[in-house]
Chains A and B, each alone.
Chain A
Amino acid sequence: MDEKNLNLTLKIWRQAGPTSVGSFQDFKVSVSEDSSILEMIDDLNNELEGDGKEPVTFESDCREGICGTCGLVINGQPHGPIPKIATCQLHMRNFKNGDTIWIEPFRAKAFPIIKDLMVDRSGFDRIMESGGYVSVNTGGVPDANEIPISKDVAAEAFDAAACIGCGACVAACKNASAMLFVSAKVSQFSLLPQGQPERYDRVQKMVMKMDEMGFGSCTNTYACEAECPKGISIKNIARMNRDYIKARATSENLEV
Chain B
Amino acid sequence: MGDLKSFIPEGNISDKWTNHKFNMKLINPANKRKYKLIVVGTGLAGASAAATLGQLGYEVEAFTFHDSARRAHSIAAQGGINASKNYQNDGDSVFRLFYDTVKGGDFRSREANVHRLAEVSESIIDQCVAQGVPFARDYGGLLDNRSFGGAQVSRTFYAKGQTGQQLLLGAYSALNKEVAKGTVKLYSRKEMVDLVVIDGKARGIIVRDLETGAIEKYSAHAVIIATGGYGNVFFLSTNAMNSNATASWRAHKRGAYFGNPCFTQIHPTCLPVHGEGQSKLTLMSESLRNDGRIWVSKTKGDMRSPDQIPEEERDYYLERKYPSFGNLSPRDISSRSAKEVVDDGRGAQGQEAVYLDFKDAINRLGKHAIEEKYGNLFEIYETITGENPYKLPMKIYPAPHYTMGGLWVDYNLMSNLPGLFVLGEANFSDHGANRLGASALMQGLADGYFVIPYTIGNYLAEDKPELLPTDHEEFSKHEKEFDELVDKLMSINGKTTVDTFHKKLGRIMWNKVGMARNEKGLNEAIKEISELREEFWKDLKLVGTKDGVNQTLERAGRVVDYLELGELMAVDALDRNESCGAHFREEYQTGEGEAKRNDEDYTYVSAWEFKDLGRWELHKEDLDFEYVKLATRSYK
Q: Which one of A31-39, A216-224, A232-240 contacts B?
A: A31-39
Q: A30 CA to B51 CA in the complex, in Å?
A: 47
Q: Known interface pairs A54-B544, A138-B52, A144-B129. Does A89 touch B240 (Cβ–Cβ under 8 Å)? A: no
Please judge, given known A-B contacts A54-B544, A144-B125, A154-B137, whether A66 and B75 are in contact too, CB under 8 Å.
yes
Give the chain A neighbours of B188 by CB distance below 8 A: 122, 125
Distance from A194 Cβ to chain B, minimum over Cβ atoms (Å): 4
Task: Enumerate 16 A-B pairs (CB-CB under 8 Å) in ascending A order.
Answer: A17-B548, A54-B543, A66-B76, A91-B383, A118-B549, A121-B67, A125-B188, A132-B173, A133-B131, A141-B126, A145-B85, A145-B143, A147-B129, A148-B142, A165-B70, A195-B132
CB-CB under 8 A from B384, the residues of chain A are 36, 89, 91
Mark out the residues of chain B between 66 and 116 whose CB falls within 8 Å of any chain A CB in the assembled complex.
66-71, 73, 75-76, 85, 87
A42 CB within 8 Å of chain B:
yes
A62 neighbours in B (Cβ, 8 Å):
73, 75-76, 240-241
A35 CA / B276 CA spacing, docked (Å)? 9
Identity of the chain A residue whose Cβ is nearest the Cβ of B128 in the assembled complex: A144
With contacts A46-B500, A144-B85 known, is A61 near B71, CB below 8 A?
yes
Task: For the complex, give the distance between the alpha carbons of A17 and B549 in Å.
Answer: 9
- Tell me if B70 and A53 are in contact (CB < 8 A): no
- Contact between A134 and B132 (Cβ–Cβ < 8 Å)? yes
**Distance in angstroms between the alpha carbons of A60 and B498 in the assembled complex:** 18
Tell me how far the C-beta of A148 lies from the nearest C-beta in chain B, rounded to whole angstroms. 4
Q: Are A151 and B138 in contact (CB under 8 A)?
A: yes
User: CB-CB < 8 A to B453: which residues of A?
Assistant: 138
CB distance from B162 to the nearest CB of A (A): 7
Is B275 positioned at the interface, with any CB of A under 8 Å from its CB? yes
Task: Please state if B130 and A67 are interface contacts (CB–CB under 8 Å).
Answer: no
B280 within 8 A of A: yes
Question: Digit string of A104-144 for contact with B (CB within 8 Å is 1, else 0)?
Answer: 00000000001100101110110011111111111101111
Chain B residues near A195 (CB-CB < 8 A): 132
Binds B, one of A6-14, A95-103, A155-163, A247-255: A155-163
Does any Cβ of B come within 8 Å of A149's Cβ? yes
Find out whether the CB atom of B71 lies under 8 angstroms from the CB atom of A69: yes
Interface membership of B587, Cβ < 8 A: no
Interface assignment of B282: CB less than 8 Å from any CB of chain A: yes
Chain B nearest CB, measured from A145 CB (Å): 5
**CA distance in complex: A65, B164 (Å):** 13
The reply to whether A151 and B137 contact each other, CB–CB distance below 8 Å, is yes
A212 contacts B by Cβ under 8 Å: no
- Closest residue to B157 on the A side, CB-wise? A144
B481 within 8 A of A: no
In the bound complex, do residue B55 and residue A40 qualify as a contact, i.e. CB atoms below 8 Å apart?
Answer: no
Closest to B174 in A: A133
Q: By the criterion CB–CB under 8 Å, are B129 and A138 in contact? A: no
Contact A64 B67 (CB under 8 A): no
Could you say which residues of chain A place their CB within 8 Å of the CB of B275? Answer: 32, 34-35
Supplied contacts A69-B71, A130-B180, 13 more A-B pairs, CB within 8 Å: A31-B277, A35-B278, A39-B277, A39-B279, A43-B277, A69-B67, A91-B383, A114-B211, A122-B68, A129-B176, A133-B174, A139-B449, A195-B132
Say yes or no: is A57 at the interface (Cβ < 8 Å to chain B).
Answer: yes
Interchain CB contact under 8 A, B66 and A161: no
B residues 422-462 in Cβ contact with A at 8 Å:
449-450, 453
A66 touches B141 (CB 8 A): no
B198 on the A face (CB < 8 A) = no
Flag if A93 contacts B386 (CB, 8 Å). Answer: yes
Task: Kindly identify which residue among B143, B160, B162, B173 contacts A128, using a CB–CB cutoff of 8 Å.
Answer: B173
A49 within 8 Å of B (CB atoms)? yes
Tell me if B242 counts as interface (CB < 8 A to partner A).
Answer: yes
A111 to chain B, nearest CB (A): 11
For residue B244, give the distance in angstroms from its CB to the closest CB of chain A.
Answer: 11
A158 to B67, CA, bound (A): 24
Q: Which of B55, B166, B380 contacts A64 (CB 8 A)?
A: B380
Top-8 shortest CB links A-B: A133-B173, A148-B141, A141-B130, A158-B134, A144-B129, A34-B274, A138-B52, A61-B240
Residues of B185-204 contacting chain A, CB below 8 A: 188
**Could you tell me if A132 and B137 are in contact, using CB atoms closer than 8 angstroms?**
no
Chain B neighbourhood of A115, CB < 8 A: 548-549
Bitwise interface map of A from 13 to 49 toward B, beta carbon under 8 Å scored 1, else 0: 0000100000000000001101110111011001011
Check B497–A46 contact: CB distance below 8 A: yes
Q: How many Å lie between the Cα of A50 and that of B493 in the bound state?
A: 11
A85 interface contact, C-beta 8 A: yes
Of chain B, the residue at the smallest CB distance from A165 is: B70
- The distance from the CB of A217 to the nearest CB of chain B, in whole angstroms, is 24
Selected from A46, A63, A125, A192, the residue in CB contact (under 8 A) with B241 is A63
Give chain B's interface residues, CB within 8 Å of chain A: 48, 51-52, 55, 66-71, 73, 75-76, 85, 87, 123, 125-132, 134-143, 159-160, 162, 164-166, 169, 172-174, 176-177, 179-180, 188, 211, 240-242, 274-275, 277-280, 282-283, 380, 383-384, 386, 449-450, 453, 495-500, 541-544, 548-549, 551-552
- A50 touching B495 by the CB < 8 A rule? yes
Does A55 make an interface contact (CB < 8 A)?
yes
Closest to A86 in B: B383
Inter-subunit contact B173/A63 (CB<8 Å): no
**Chain A residues positioned under 8 Å from B75 (CB to CB):** 62, 66-67
C-alpha spacing A109/B550, complex, angstroms = 24
State the CA gap A125–B75 with chains docked (Å). Answer: 16
**Complex CA–CA separation, A150 to B141 (angstroms):** 4
What's the Cα separation between A85 and B322 when bound, in Å? 38
Residue A59 CB within 8 A of the other chain: yes
Query: Chain A's nearest CB lies how many Å from the CB of B124?
Result: 9
Residues on B with beta carbons closer than 8 Å to the beta carbon of A164: 165
Shortest Cβ gap from B232 to chain A (Å): 11
Inter-chain contacts of B240 with A (CB < 8 A)? 61-63, 67
Please, how many angstroms separate the alpha-carbon atoms of A242 and B527 in the complex?
67
A31 to B87 alpha-carbon distance, docked (Å): 51
Complex: A119 Cα to B302 Cα, angstroms:
49
A215 CB–B CB distance under 8 Å: no
Asked if A189 is at the interface (CB within 8 A of a chain B CB), the reply is yes
A78 is an interface residue with CB less than 8 A from chain B: no
Docked Cα-Cα span, A145 to B277, in Å, equals: 47
Given A129-B179, A133-B131, CB of A120 within 8 Å of CB of B67? yes
Question: Is B134 within 8 A of A91, CB to CB?
Answer: no
Asked if residues A144 and B71 are in contact (CB atoms below 8 Å), the reply is: no
Residues of B within 8 A of A139 (CB): 123, 127, 449-450
Chain A residue, CB-CB nearest to B166: A161
Among the listed A40, A61, A85, which residue makes an inter-chain contact with B383, where contact means beta carbons less than 8 Å apart? A85
B123 / chain A contacts, CB cutoff of 8 Å: 139
Q: Which of A78-96 contact B (CB under 8 A)?
A: 85, 89, 91, 93
Q: Which residues of B contact A31 (CB under 8 A)?
A: 277
- A61 and B497 CA atoms in complex are apart in Å by 20
What distance in Å separates the Cβ of B52 from its nearest Cβ neighbour in chain A?
Answer: 4
The reply to whether B173 and A134 form a contact with Cβ atoms under 8 Å apart is yes
Residue A188 lies at the interface, judged by CB distance under 8 Å to chain B? yes
A66/B277 in contact, CB under 8 A? no
The residue in A68, A145, A188 that gathers the most chain B C-beta atoms within 10 A of its C-beta is A145
Give the docked Cα–Cα distance between A132 and B178 (Å).
12
> How many angstroms between the C-alpha atoms of A223 and B256 in the bound complex?
52
Chain A residues in 8 Å Cβ range of B134: 154, 157-158, 161, 188, 192
